[in-house]
Every structure is written in C-alpha cells, then in structure tokens.
Structure 1
Amino acid sequence: MARSTIVQVVTDNAANNMAAKDMLYVKRPNLFWTSCATHTINVVLEGIRKMRKFKNTLDSAKSLTIFIYAHHKTLSVMRKFTKKRDIVRPGVTRFASTFLTLQSLYEKKDQLRMMSQSEEWEKISHVKKSAKGVQATATLVKPSFWNGVSLCLRVFEPLVNVLRMVDGDTKPSMPWLYGEILKAKEEIRIAVGNLDKNGTGLYKSIIEIVDEKMKKRLDCPIHMAAYCLNPYYSYSKPSIFHNEDVIDGFFAAVETFYHGDYDKQNQVLNEDFHKFKDKAGHFGKNVAQLGCKDYNFSPAKWWANYGTQVPTLQKFAIRILSLTSSASGCERNWSCFEGIHTKKRNRLTCERVEQLVYVRFNHLHAKRKNKAQNNKRADLLVATEATFAQGWMAQGADEEGSDVDPVIGLTWRLIAETCGPDEVTKLRRSARLAMEREIEEEPLSETDGEPINEEDIDFESDQDVVITTGYELEGEEDNDG
C-alpha cells in the first residue's frame, strides 16, 4: 500500500488498539491515530448522566416506563392517551435510547399527566395496591420530575446533536467536530443558566467531565488543524488564529503529515498559511467569503476551488477536511458480519463472507440513506432493534456496564430475514411483554379482568420523528444538587 494512501486510523481507546498504535507509529510516523468521536461523546454523556442531579431524574423515568410496560392494562391505557404511540424509543447506543425516551416522555407530558388522573388508570388494581404503582403515579404528577426531565434534555441535547453529526454519513465530520463541541459547551452554559458565576456550580461540574473525557481524544492535532482550516469557523472568528492550543495543534499536524519533509513544512507554515490567514489571492475573493458562510458547504471542495495558489497547504487541507471522525460505520459492518457468520453457519469461505457482507451492508446502507432523504425529519440515532431499549422496559435488562446481549439482537435479525418485518414486529411485542410479566414481582390480580389481546392493540411508532419541542421549567423547582 502506498505511503500516502492512509492518512488516519480511527479506533476506540482499548488497550490493544493503543498498543497497535505505538507499534504502527514506528513504521508509519506520518499517520494520524484518533479516538472514535461517537464512542467518546457517548462516554462524555454517560459521565454526565451519572451526576446526582441527572441520575435521580433518569432513575425515576426508567422506573416509570418499566412499570407501564410490565402490565397489559397500564400499557393499554398509556397507548390510549398517547394515541397508540409508545413512550420508549430504541437508539443506536444505550445513551441514545436514554435521550430519545426522555424526549418522548416530555413530548407526551400532558397526555401522561391526564392519564395518571383518569378513571381508567385509577381502576387498575396494581396501580393503587403496589408500591411501584403509587410511585409511578406520584412521578407523573410531580412538577420537580418534569423540571428534571426538561433540564436533562437541555443539557444533553447540545452534545447529542454533535453525536448525530459524527454518527451520520451525510458529510465528513472532521472539519466540524471541534467547533461543534465548543458550540455545545456554550449552549450547555446557557441551558443551566450560568450557575457557575461564583466558580462553583452545575456548569463547572459538567464541563469538567466533558474536558476530562475529551482530553487526548477529541482535541488532538488533527482536530485542531481541521478546526483552523475550516473557513466557516476561522474566517468568522479570526481570534482562532491567535489561539495557542489551536495553532500548536496545527503545527503538529503539519509536521506529522509532511513527516521528515522540512521543505514542505517550511512552505506550509512560513508561506502558505499566512496567505490563508490574511485572505490573500483567491482567498480574498468575495465569492470565497460568501461560499464558506453556509454550514452545509463542503470545506474540502472550498479548498479545491480557492487553494490552488498554495498547492502544498491545499493538499494537506483537502486530506484533513475530507476525513471522518468516527468508526461507527465499521461497527455496523461488524454487526452485519455477525448476522451472516454464525456458530451454525461458519463454513463459509472468507471470500464468500466478504461478498455477503458487502451486499447486505450496502443494501441496508442504501435503504437507510433513501429513508433519510425521503424523510427529512428522520433521526439518525433511532435504532430498529427494540432490544437496545430493553433497559427502559424491563428491570435489569440493561445493567450498568453491560451492553445488549448480542445473541438477542442476532436472533431478531435472523427472524426478520426469515419471516419478514411484519411478523418480527408481532413476535417482538409478544416476547417483550412475556419477559416483563415474568420478571415483575407483583403478578396481576385475578380481579383485573381478562388479559388484553396484543393483536387488538393498534400501534403507531413515532420513533422516526425528531422532536423539536422546547423544554420549559414549570411550577416547583428541583434544587437537588
């Protein structure tokens, strides 16, 4: 493989990957090795989620949804008031499920509160007789709970928007990553109301977590160089060129990219970069200034147009600004591989497996891309597997530190391939309800009447819709630190 073919390697921070990085640097010192942005942002969000201010609200929300989904009657009443829409949404990661479900709860806040005061809800015996039922009702009517949900959404949403950007495939994410993280920090500061005026407060605690998890992961030289070379940021805020951390990162990235070639390093750092900063030559054209003000423009194409007078810097810029920052696409590819090469189907040749994975993955990718194009409001974080949200429907189904059982996910995929999507939806509903009733500590009373036939429940999912509702506080404030 040619020396200049590979620019960047993206992995998570597992010990074996870090060991491979050190070994590879010996032979390929001109490579950039970065942490997966999707993985890192999820780590950041999980760290914030564990703060007591947010953990209490999330625990209450999870207990509420588990109680509702654990009984036929509570589930039926909930769907009646929400117009046959579920309150739990599966996401592509555990935290995505958390955010999407909180978002769904808040959107249906009025309907759920009406439900808790309705005759249908009060007539369900285990709502009044069980401690979990009393707690669920109290949660639904407590202003501090809904204020907590609102605060969670306002704090989480800026980082979740970054997660959507890096996990999508609509455009290269490297040019936008660092700038969008800085924007998210500012939005979080506004969301918590500048509570750190005296140097102590919620904002300070959140930012400490963000900075700790990001350090040496999302603030590497390549991230700084991409941020600096993206005219969307640097031309609208020239102070970027005077930021020591950004410029140090840019210098380090140039030295890595043109490793050992001091003539090209000199050309880029002492001549070309000044022309870009000073908007000299083609960079100073009015059309160049207008072309980089749109967030949806392509920084790499912009450099291809206006960087012709600085070819050495242009080559570096186009390569850096065309990179991804996430390895989530590979993760999906591996998931597809698991569905094809199984314990019972393991005699396929390597070539055959590669061909099947290629066809299967690209088929799914094309379907997803077409769906996103047809539905502009489709959320990239929504998953098709209900198993990714089992922690919100069954106690202990998603314990801390554990992921969804891959066997479960694989089983649903195989059933889907055999029976089709309609059949697997029915089977998943039945299996889900059976599991939840089995683990419920308090069984249904015989006086509750005949069980509801799941086939009679019409169901409409809203999981493909992005909710844009504002998150406002109301009534009683939740001052729990």
Structure 2
Amino acid sequence: MWATKRKTTIMNLCVNSRLGTVFLSTKDVPHTTQHIYKYIESCIQEVGSENVVQIVTNNFSEKTESQKLLNEKKPTVFWTSCATNTINLMLEDITDLPMFKKVLDQAKALTVFIYSHHKTLTLMRNFTKKRDIVRQGVTKSASTFLTLQILLKKKTEIQNMFSSMELEEFEYSKVHGKFVYEIVQETGFWENVALCLKVFSPLIKVLRMVDIDKKPSMGFVYGEIMNARKAIRDVLGDCEKDYELIMDIISSNMRGKLDSCLHLTAYLLNPYYHYKDCSLQHDGEVMDAVLEFFDTIFHGDLEMQHQIINVELPKYKNKEGAFGRELAAKACEVNDDDFDPGNWWGTFGGSTPELRKIAMRVLSLTTSSSGCDRNRHTLKRAHMKKVNELTTTQMNNYIFVQFNLNLKSKYKKNKQMNMEVLLASDAKEAQEWLVDDDDDDDDDKVELEMLWEADEVDYESDGVHIMEEYGDVDII
C-alpha cells in the first residue's frame, strides 16, 4: 500500500498459495481503519473465508485497529507482519550501531567518490573488468550487504586502481581522493568490512529466504532467526556487550511480528527443527503458542481442539508410528531446496489426519508481502492521467495483467541460479552508496539512471554460502 497526494491509500491485494503469488485487485481508499478493513474483508469473501488462514501486511499504523475489526468478524484468520520488512528493519538498526557505522561511512565515501565522476567510474570498471562495486538490492540493507561483499571481493582491483598512474593524473582525484586513498590502503578497513559481513550475513540469509519465497517460509522464519542469533554470538565471541545490543535489536523487532502463535506453531510442526531438538515440545513459550493457535483456528470447537492437542499432537511429539520411522528422520534432516515440511506431513502424518491437514496448511504459508508491494510502480503508471481515462473495468483489467506479468517475471528470474535474488532492477535502495546528497557542485556527476546499462553490467552470482568466505577478523 502507498499514500497518494490526495491523502488516500492505494491498496493492492495478492493471494498466495503453494503455487506462488497472484495479484487479485487494487483500490484507492481513504486512509482510515474502517475503509482498509472493509476492503480486506471484501477480498476475503471473494477468495472464500475457508481458504484464508492469514493476512500478511507491511507494518503500517492502521494494522492493529483493522485487525481488531477483522477478528470480530473472522476470528479464525491470523494477521501477521511482513517478514521481509521486519528483518530489513533489524538490519538497518544494527547498521546504525557505532561499532558498524564508522566502517560503513568509510565504505560509502569510497563508492560515492568513484561514482561521482564519469572518469573515476570508467577507471574502476576498467580495473574490475566492467563489474560494478555497488549492488542495488531489493532493500536498503540488502544493498549494503551486497555492496560490502563485492567491495571485499574486488579489494585487490580497487587498491590497484588507487595506486595507478591514471588516477594520479586525474585532477579530480587530487582534490577529493586523499581521504579515500587512505581508507583503501588501510588494512583495518578491510578487516572491519569482513567483520560486518560476518555479522550481517546470518540475517541476510533469512531475508533472502523470506523474500524469494522459493518455497513456503512460515515453517522456517522463526527457527532461522534463532539460528542467526546464535551465529552472530559466535562471530562476536566474548564481546558480550556488542552482541547483546544486537540481540536486543532482533528481539524488539520480532516482538509482536514474527513471534506470534502462528509462527511458533509452524516452528514446532516443522520436523526439521523438532527432530533436531526434541526439547522444543517442552518449551513453555512454544506450547502456550500452540494452545493459542488451535484455540484460534478452531474457535469454539473444543472437541476438535481436544482431538488435536490431546490425541494427535502427542504422537508427533513422541515420534510414534510412522513418525518414528528411520525414513521420517532421514527425510527432514537437511533443509535444502528439495525439503518441503508440508510434503513431509503428507507422507508421514497418516495416523494424525486432523493435525496433518492443519500442518500442511500452515507449512504452506508465506511470511512476506514484499512481492506484492514491490510491484507498486505498475499501480503508479495506472494512476497516471492518460491511463485514468480508462473505465474502472478497463483499469482493473490493465493492472491485473501487468501486475501478474511482473510477478511471473520475478519467479522466472528466481529460478535462474546465476542471478542473486536480492538484487533489484533499479538503484533506489542503493542511492546512498552512489551520491552524496550534500554535494551539488559537480556538474559532471553521473546520473543514477545511467549507472547500469544493460549491455555493460554482468552480475556474478553472490551465492548463499557467505559465512565461510571472510576468514578470521579482529573485532572492531
């Protein structure tokens, strides 16, 4: 959703299933709780209440009040926050910590210096064989991580550039480049870049997982954030004062967003975590969430709650029957692209038919609305004066076709293994790495839209195995 100058809100709704996300409709509504609620409810009716488990929205101010209204009419529907947005906020808060801010400011000074003039930009591309060092990500934090990663990868080329005769002969570098030259030649700078990457990468992996939505992420998001917390503590070692600040940021951003009874129930029902750590079933917070979840989804149906909680769930927890087969444990021991916890339940959950039905449904849910939200440029084009001459029906048909074509294109790109899925097609989220907002004097600055020409940039795959690449570094 996004606000217009007329103080109305353009809302677009998509429907997600195991097969992917499909655009449903869009509407220009007054920015009030009542109107937002009515539009969401009308879309639920169109899809069918029995087919809706959750509403996933970006974090906006009307969510709480709209949720209260929805709960009165649809008490079995959950309302959750977008995981991509929430994790991005975590990363932004972490990058603002003093221990990281200095090195990030230095790295930005380096990239802004290079991208502020055509000659330095051309020289850099000559040394890196036409590889750009700024990566425009799908979010601000993704841009930060991807840019730091390519900076470290091209460390030698960048240092060679700043030691070259070509740069020394360039008058612009003599005036503006001394500070940046010192940064590039300083060993501590590159060590601190490596440390930033090691700290950020566990959460970036989670961001990547929820944003690509290559497979349903509801069963993984809570568990992977817990794994990320442990990985960050391990990176920072004995520096408790440093990692405690990061843990507080993660906890405060998760609270009320990614730790709901729906997230925790999916966490328990995902055999990948349960079979690795059977103590989950004894975690009071997890089990309280499970009770709340089934009380919600089977609102007022005590018989069904009893059947699942007291009869069927213990079989899964205690690994009875098919759950105890060696094959069941083998099938969920690796979380790779082929592992689907919903399919696992379809295979081994026969002795618990009601629980199996719920588990397959919950573990088929997405956790993000980012795919829907990022296609807002389609809506903006549709609301231009020229297009607004269309009838209402023509307008809706136009948006429906364009939006779903964009979604289809996104899924096609995600399947291409040579393309990093955190990359974006525009430089909006990477702007702070490209230009200095306070510097308006240079008439020869590079225009943002000219930075990435289709025939010039050939991005390498950044992969997901990033923790192992940076070696041992000192703490900042």
Identify the match of residue 465 of structure 1 among 461, 464, 467.
461
- Match of 2:174, SS state, is helix
Q: Is the 8 A contact 1:92 1:382 kept in 2?
A: yes
Which of the residues 255, 258, 264 maps onto 2:304?
A: 264
In the alignment, which residue of structure 2 is the partner of 1:337? 379
Q: Are the counterparts in 1 of residues 388 and 395 from structure 2 also a CA contact under 8 Å? A: no
TM (norm. structure 1) is: 0.82
> 1:429 maps to what in 2?
none
Q: Is the 8 A contact 2:131 2:459 kept in 1?
A: no
Match of residue 421 from structure 2: 380
| One-letter code aligned to 1:392 | W
The CA deviation at 1:350 is 3.2
Return the letter of the residue paired with 2:441. Answer: E
1:441 paired residue number: 441
Alignment counterpart, residue 139 of structure 1, candidates 172, 183, 197: 183
Per-residue deviation, 1:363: 2.5
Q: List structure 1 segments (4+ residues) > 6 angstroms apart after TM superposition.
A: none
1:86-105 equivalences in 2 (<5 Å)? 86-105=132-151
Q: Is the 8 A contact 1:84 1:459 kept in 2?
A: no
- The Cα of 1:442 is off from its aligned counterpart by 5.5
**Residue 21 of structure 1 contacts residue 33 of structure 1 at CA under 8 Å; is this kept in 2?**
yes
Out of 189, 205, 210, the residue aligned to residue 245 of structure 2 is 205
Judged with a 3 Å threshold, the aligned counterparts in structure 2 of structure 1 residues 458 and 43 are, in CA distance, closer, same or farther, namely: closer
Assess if the C-alpha contact under 8 Å between 2:417 and 2:461 holds in 1: no
Taking structure 1 as reference, are residues 98 and 346 closer, same or farther at Cα in structure 2, changes over 3 Å only? same
Q: Matched residues in 1 for 2:307 and 2:190: separation?
A: 58
Which of 320, 326, 332 is the matching residue for 2:368? Answer: 326
How far apart, in 2, do the equivalents of 1:473 and 1:225 lie? 37
Distance 1:149 1:79 in 2: 21
Structure 1, residues 431-464: CA drift from partner, whole Å, max 9, x if none? xxxxxxxx553667xxxxxxxxx99x99642435
Instruction: Tell me: CA distance 1:17–1:350, structure 2 relative to 1, closer, same or farther (3 Å).
Output: farther
Q: Which amino acid aligns with 1:35?
A: S
> Comparing 7-16 with 224-233, which one deviates more in the overlay?
7-16
Q: Is the 8 A contact 1:84 1:458 kept in 2?
A: no
Do the aligned residues in 2 keep the contact of 1:45 with 1:95 (CA within 8 Å)?
yes
Q: Residue 166 in 1 paired to residue 165 in 2?
A: no
Given the superposition, is the C-alpha separation of residues 64 and 86 from structure 1 closer, same or farther in structure 2, using an over 3 Å criterion?
same
Match of 2:197 in 1: 153
Judge conservation of contact 1:300–1:318 (CA < 8 Å) in 2: yes
Q: Please name the residue that 1:255 is paired with.
A: 295
- Among candidates 118, 122, 133, match of residue 76 of structure 1: 122
Query: 3-state DSSP class of the match of 1:267?
Result: helix
Distance 1:184 1:160, change over 3 A: same
Q: CA deviation at 1:72?
A: 1.9
Separation in structure 1 between the aligned mates of residue 454 and residue 268 of structure 2, nearest angstrom: 53
| TM superposition shift of 1:335 | 3.2
8 A Cα contact 2:59 2:85, kept in partner: no
SS of equivalent to 2:56 = strand
Instruction: Give the CA deviation at 1:354.
Output: 2.8
- Matched AA of 1:134: K
Give the 3 Å change call, closer, same or farther, for CA 125–333 of structure 1 in structure 2.
closer
1:393/1:254 CA distance change after superposition, 3 Å = same
Query: Equivalent residue of 1:175, what SS?
Result: coil
- Corresponding position of 2:66: 20
Q: Do the aligned partners of 1:68 and 1:74 also contact (CA within 8 Å) in 2?
A: yes
Displacement, 1:38? 0.5
- Which residue of 291, 295, 300 maps to 2:331? 291
State which of 196, 204, 222 in structure 2 corresponds to 1:178: 222
Distance 1:147 1:96, change over 3 A: same
Alpha-carbon offset, residue 391 of structure 1 = 1.9
Contact map agreement 2:195 2:475 (CA 8 A) in 1? no
Q: Residue 348 of structure 1: which of 390, 395, 417 is its match?
A: 390
Q: Distance in 2 between matches of 1:459 and 1:27?
A: 54
Question: Residue type matched to 1:283 in 2?
Answer: F
Whether 1:390 and 2:431 are equivalent positions in the alignment is yes
**How much is the aligned-residue C-alpha RMSD, in angstroms?**
2.2
2:156 match = 110
In the alignment, the residues of structure 2 paired with residue 378 and residue 76 of structure 1 have an alpha-carbon distance, to the nearest angstrom, of: 24
Of 413, 416, 419 in structure 2, the residue corresponding to residue 371 of structure 1 is 413
Contact 1:382 1:463 in 2 (8 A): no
* Secondary structure, aligned partner of 1:370: helix
Say which SS state the counterpart of residue 229 (structure 2) adopts: helix
Q: Secondary structure at the match of 1:378?
A: coil
- Cα distance in 1 for partners of 2:404, 2:460 equals 21
- What residue identity is the alignment partner of 2:291? F
Shift of 1:355: 2.3
Name the CA shift for 1:352/1:332 in 2 (closer, same or farther; >3 Å).
Answer: farther
- Identity between Structure 1 and Structure 2 (%): 41
Is 1:273 the counterpart of 2:317 in the alignment? Answer: no
Distance 1:161 1:63 in 2: 26
> Take 2:69 and 2:266, find their aligned partners in 1: how far apart are those partners?
26
Q: How far, CA to CA, are the matches of 1:464 and 1:327 in structure 2?
A: 27
1:228–1:234 CA contact under 8 A, matched in 2: yes
Structure 1: how far apart are the matches of 2:351 and 2:475? 58
**Alpha carbons of structure 1 residues 462 and 143: separation in structure 2 relative to 1, 3 Å:** farther
The alpha-carbon deviation at position 325 of structure 1 amounts to: 0.6
Conservation of the 8 A alpha-carbon contact between 1:379 and 1:466: yes
Distance 1:77 1:459, change over 3 A: farther
SS at match of 1:171: coil
* Structure 1 stretch displaced more, 464-473 or 320-329: 464-473
Structure 2: 5+ residue stretches without partners = 1-44, 445-449
Find the counterpart in structure 1 of residue 268 from structure 2.
Answer: 228
Distance 1:135 1:478 in 2: 23
Q: Which has the higher strand share?
A: 2
Say if 2:274 and 2:280, in contact at 8 Å, map to a contact too: yes
| Corresponding letter in the other structure for 1:212 | S
* TM-fit CA distance, 1:87: 0.8
